[in-house]
Amino acid sequence: MIEVRFTDIDSQGHANHLAIAAWVSHERVTLFDDAILRAKIGSRWDHVMVHISMDFKAAITYPNNVLIFPEIAKIGRKSVTTNYEVCVRGEDVVRATCINVFMCDGKPARLPESLKDVLRNATQMSNMEHKYHTNR
- DSSP codes of every residue in 15-47: B-HHHHHHHHHHHHHHHHHHHHHHHT--TTEEE
- Per-residue pLDDT tens for 19-75? 999 999 999 999 999 999 999 999 999 999 999 999 999 999 999 999 999 999 999
| Domain extent at residue 120 | 2-134
CATH number at residue 39: 3.10.129.10
Provide the domain count of the chain: 1
Cis bond before residue 63 (omega within 30° of 0): yes
Largest CA distance in the chain: 47
Residue 88 pLDDT level (bands cut at 50, 70, 90): very high
Which positions ≥6 away from 115 have C-beta within 8 Å? 35, 36, 39, 41, 45, 102
Q: Are 86 and 20 in contact (CB under 8 A)?
A: yes
